[in-house]
Chains A and B, each alone.
Chain A
């Protein structure tokens, strides 16, 4: 782990600790990958220093944050949260679209993690 001033931070660096703002509100979680967007966001919150994982910490065998979950697992979990819907057309459609959006979001996150 090393401490960096935010101006030195680069996209794809992995946070070694949570970043909170003055109100102790969590801005970014440990393990998150930096990108242009969230670096800008941290700047706007006045964050000055970040702790970054050094190369040796992030060995290639690190488990991805999703723990190997795939689209089917996500769909199953969502289905369980909705419960049985019978022939409720409205809720079935909400479930269908939401599942699609969440699986998509998940793949995008994956792509970011993979660099």
Chain B
């Protein structure tokens, strides 16, 4: 990839999408071992939109708490820091995918399903492998293809060409991106994750989710997202814009240390957990075997 080319592209994207300030502050608070539930509640309460959403989500049937949860403080006590952070990050990222203009609406929606699916899959794989930081894997899964949103929203013309190439040649989106942009959504997403000051390993994993062998010390995390992406393609959960399902890289498979016999359990668990979470965040749009028209 030519760095010059990537910079030229990013130069065209004047106002990269931002995360709400609150999400930053929340990340800071959660990363600080000295903070309390009250500190966290204070920050969330300052943001009326997030507060309303959080309370609506925790009171939804997904969590099934028998009594109404009326305060942010109570929600934090019940769900814990990490779950709250994930919920808020998920709804904030959801806004980016939803966007306001109707162009590429269906693509964005399918990409959202794919991203949420990968987040769930990464969490399931991480739990199975007893990875210590499962929530971090969820975030990596949710954001791994965020570069595609930048293409859809800020590089619409290029994206339309990329989509046409993918369709005509039935090739992987990264190939078409190399042809049209000279870089891929992994490079663009990496840049965005860095601008957002997301903590390691998120930017590195975004950069290497298609090349886990190059992820260095984060090879296990990158391999997890690489496999999660393959799982979601195989299970037909949303679509990242291309139809084909790549084979897992040998280095990624050995870095994970999974056995062939583990796959059945993992895939069925992902299917179950995804159906649960998506029916509460957004309706599943039914089984589609045609990821992209």
Number of interface residues of A (CB under 8 A): 38
Q: A24-B105, A25-B109, A105-B287 are in contact. Are A44 and B282 (CB under 8 A)?
A: no
* Alpha-carbon distance between A57 and B230 when the two chains are bound, in angstroms: 40
Residues 53-89 of A, flagged 1 when their CB comes within 8 A of B and 0 if not, give 0000000000001000100001001100111010011
The A interface is mostly helix, strand or loop, or mixed, namely helix
**Segment of B14-22, B74-82, B139-147, B264-272 engaged in the interface with chain A:** B264-272
Contact B286 A29 (CB under 8 A): yes
Contacts of A88 in B (CB 8 A): 247
The residue from A44, A95, A105 contacting B234, defined by CB atoms under 8 A apart: A95
A6 interfacial contact with B, CB 8 Å: no
CB distance from A72 to the nearest CB of B (A): 13
A38 is contacted by which of B99, B234, B279 (Cβ under 8 Å)? B279
Q: Is the interface of B mostly helix, strand, loop or mixed?
A: helix
- Do B287 and A102 touch (CB < 8 A)? yes
* Interface residue A10 (Cβ < 8 Å from any Cβ of B): no
In the assembled complex, the Cα of A17 lies from the Cα of B216 at a distance in Å of: 49
Interchain CB contact under 8 A, B98 and A102: no
Write the chain B residue with the least CB distance to A88.
Answer: B247
B43 at the interface (CB under 8 A from A): no
Count, A-B residue pairs, CB within 8 A: 100
A93 interfacial contact with B, CB 8 Å: yes
Q: Is A111 an interface residue (CB 8 A)?
A: no
Using an 8 Å CB-CB cutoff, how does the interface string of B91-129 with A read, 1 for contact, 0 for none? 000110111101001100100100000000000000000
Complex Cα distance, B234 from A101, in Å, reads 10
Closest chain B residue to A104, Cβ basis: B271
Q: Is the CB of A97 within 8 A of B236?
A: no
Against A, the Cβ 8 Å flags (1 = close, 0 = not) of B38-70 are 000000000000000000100011000000000
Binding site for B on A (CB under 8 A): 21, 23-29, 32, 37-38, 40-42, 44, 65, 69, 74, 77-78, 81-83, 85, 88-91, 93-95, 97-98, 101-102, 105-106, 109
Footprint of A on B, CB under 8 Å? Answer: 56, 60-61, 94-95, 97-100, 102, 105-106, 109, 112, 230-231, 233-236, 243-245, 247-248, 253, 260, 263-264, 267-268, 271, 279-280, 282-283, 285-287, 289
Q: List 23 A-B contacts (CB under 8 A).
A: A23-B95, A25-B98, A26-B285, A27-B283, A28-B285, A41-B279, A41-B280, A42-B283, A44-B56, A44-B60, A44-B280, A82-B244, A82-B245, A85-B247, A88-B247, A90-B263, A94-B234, A94-B263, A95-B234, A97-B263, A98-B234, A98-B235, A101-B235
Q: Known contacts A25-B97, A98-B231; can you find 12 more A-B pairs with CB under 8 A? A: A21-B98, A23-B95, A23-B99, A24-B100, A26-B106, A26-B283, A37-B279, A65-B286, A78-B234, A81-B243, A82-B234, A105-B287
